[in-house]
Amino acid sequence: MFMVTEEPLVVNVDDPYQNGREHTPQIVTRANALTATQRDWLERANTFYVATATGSARVDTSRCGGPFGVLRVGDGKHLAWPEHDDKATFRALENLEVDSRCVILLVDRENGATLQLSGHACIDSNPSYFPEASRSVAFTIERIVETQIA
């Protein structure tokens, strides 16, 4: 379940692995630049979630995906993904034109780890990472929260 607070845009994810069991200890790491392991995780991803805000402060969460490597990582603070011809991507791009705040969430379904990237995104009409796409999303990371199940 996604819940979003006001400033800055933050997604809080309920633990889907708990299911009424005793709470599992978690290791939470916070940073403002990607580690090598996080870069690898992003570059291998084929599914991620994007939360954007509308002009009325409502939040829209979309599942995005594509082939493995759909996310391209620049330096430790920037990444991009191509525009896809689907309703979810269209809504996210439409929201980004109004409010640049954005959250990206990756979930490792094998071990329950999550990687949450908060920051700002803009639409790039001349995407250097994706020459085959007419547009892409350029994302600047401001905050990283990684949660590992201990």
Over residues 15-55, the pLDDT tens digits come to 444 455 555 668 899 999 999 999 999 999 988 999 888 76
Q: 67-83, pLDDT tens digit by residue?
A: 888 888 988 899 988 87
Buried b (16+ CB within 10 A) or exposed e, 35-57: eeebbebbeebeebbbbbbeeee
Interacting residues of 73 by C-beta distance below 8 A, sequence separation 6+: 34, 39, 42, 43, 79
Q: What's the pTM?
A: 0.77
Which two tokens mark 149? 């199940």
Domain extent listing, the chain? 26-149
Two tokens, residue 126: 């001349």
- CATH 3.40.50.720, applies to 26-149: no
